[in-house]
Structure 1
Amino acid sequence: MLRSTFFYVVPVFGLLFIPSVILSEHPTVALFRLFTILIYLFYLEYFFRTTSTSQSARDRHFILIEIFRFVYFVPIAIYLINTPTLGETNIYGEQSDDLGLTSNNFGWAASFYFLLTIDRIKNFPNSKFLALIDVLTLPIALYLVIISGSRSSTLAIALSGMLLILLRRNISLTLKTGLLIGMTFIYLLVSSSQNLALNRHQGHSKQGVVNKESRLLIWNDIFSIVSENPQLLLFGVGPDNSTEAVNKYKHRFYKVHPHNTYIIVLFESGIICFAWFVLFFIAKPLIFYFKNDASHFSYILHPFVISFFDHNLGPGQFLAFPLFSLIFFYLYRSSPSLAVRDIAVLK
């Protein structure tokens, strides 16, 4: 049995969310939305609590990587089936009629798969044939990232790569510095190229500003609202009510949500619930990751980075599954009764 458990994390999160539900304009809808989020979190917490005692961290990590790789290779496969020529240079703004996936979804899936596969090859050696297949999929995944125009995907890969370079002990300081400067230069060069999808989508961004749909405009409106209405900072506006609240207080006509998981939690639940979320859903898992796994695995940061640019709170969101799976995985990795054993096995 575990000497410490994190079962309380989800119930307390739900209880701290209740005031925003009661004070929201549509309490019934807000309660149903909160219920769906909590059921999802309860399931994941229970799964990782039970498996943490029956399997080693290394085995669980391998299983997670394989599950994530399978799930997020599906969008890549769908794109390849629909566009087998690999002749596209820019799919930004396009949407798949089959699954309703946008270009950002393809970019996020491909970048996540890219990092997962590198970690799979590096940490879990396979047969030469299967390893070769994995290696051959990497250029395809990277190609899809580039043509998707998803700068958040490129940023996630760049940050993960830089972190890995900084923490690798067998790389000299001179080489680390050179690699970091080179990666930064390449990223700036690629992101500013007028011929790549990464920058050719600026027209869409400008149009978004004109249509009042830009992420930055929505985020700015939210911070303006909570500064002018302190009660909203304390209690929030209720689950799944961000867009309606911004439209009400700022007399806007937004049709999209804020596209930022962290801002959504703050605005919808209030500062107290947000502080609990930051402590147990962000800080505690990531601190353990940086202390113990950051030099071995680079894919962990990806869903946390993308969550700055998309809504991943609850079931049905594109990266909610890996985000909260990794949160509970590392919460239980940090349990004192398991940490010493798992760290020794990993090393």
Structure 2
Amino acid sequence: MDPDRIVVLAGGVGGAKFVRGLRALGRRTPDRSPDVTVVANTGDDLWLAGLRVTPDLDSLMYALAGVNDEQRGWGRAGESERVSAELTAYGVGWPWFTLGDLDLGTHIARSAMLREGLPLSAVVERLSARWPLGVRLLPATDDEVETHVVTAEGELHFEEWWVRTRAALPALAFRQQGVETATAAPGVREAILAADVVLVAPSNPVVSIGTVLGIPGVREALAATSAPVVGLSPVIGGAVVRGMADACLTAIGVETDAAAIARHYGARADGGLLDGWLVDETDAAAVEALAGSGIRTAAVPLWMTDDDATADMAAAALRLAAR
């Protein structure tokens, strides 16, 4: 299948690795390279020390620009942290949420543009123009929709639960504050409706993909599009590939299992999300387990070890879409 228009729903680090692989796949046949639009989760966003921080959008932008820190998996390469140390000395911000100096430059620029009245989607376009990303990057919404976690010790912003507690506090529920009155950012619904294929990156199903799907208008566009919707499992052999998505899945009563996540998303024919689902070869039993579910499933290698391996994953997703 050689689609002209691909939309990817994505979170941060895992989503960024997948989109880099998809871009690498397009470069194998430059005369047939598709237009790719990435719709990114904004539920991790927050105001901190007077600055608007957008972790997933930045992870995507930095990774596609080739300036991300490959060792940590987030932030900029070659960072220093002098400004964060000064903020801590003044008692400002979260001392355990360290932002690098180059990264802070991005947050300052973004916050200045937002205060000038630009919507987040326009800010993302201006920031992304600095580098040839090879894709169009869109926030799921221009509105402030922040994910909070309900715990026995109170309600925390998702980043506090994720970074400070390392998800050690059991999550009782997740709340996307402001989601009911939010609208999809300009271009999001249009891109989905015009797509030839929609891919769901192997990102956190609860707080990344789940937040994108919670924005009013997004699910409706996915239901209406003529494009097949194919997802890739973020779980291999009963374990999450990266991060602590298992803690999020447990909180909503979903097993950390490739087939269970597909059932959580649901078949599009039954009002859910998916037409197709890729699992790792380790989870090949899921192909039979999901037979008759309305979700066409295939097993292929899903370890994103490098851009070439991830490009092969993306190619498998497109082949499944063509079926």
Coarse TM-score class (shorter-chain normalised): under 0.3
**Larger radius of gyration, structure 1 or 2?**
1
Normalising by structure 2, report the TM-score: 0.28
TM norm structure 1: 0.26
Q: Quick one: higher RCO (CA 8 Å, sep 6+), 1 or 2?
A: 1
Give the number of the structure whose residues are more often helix, by fraction.
Answer: 1
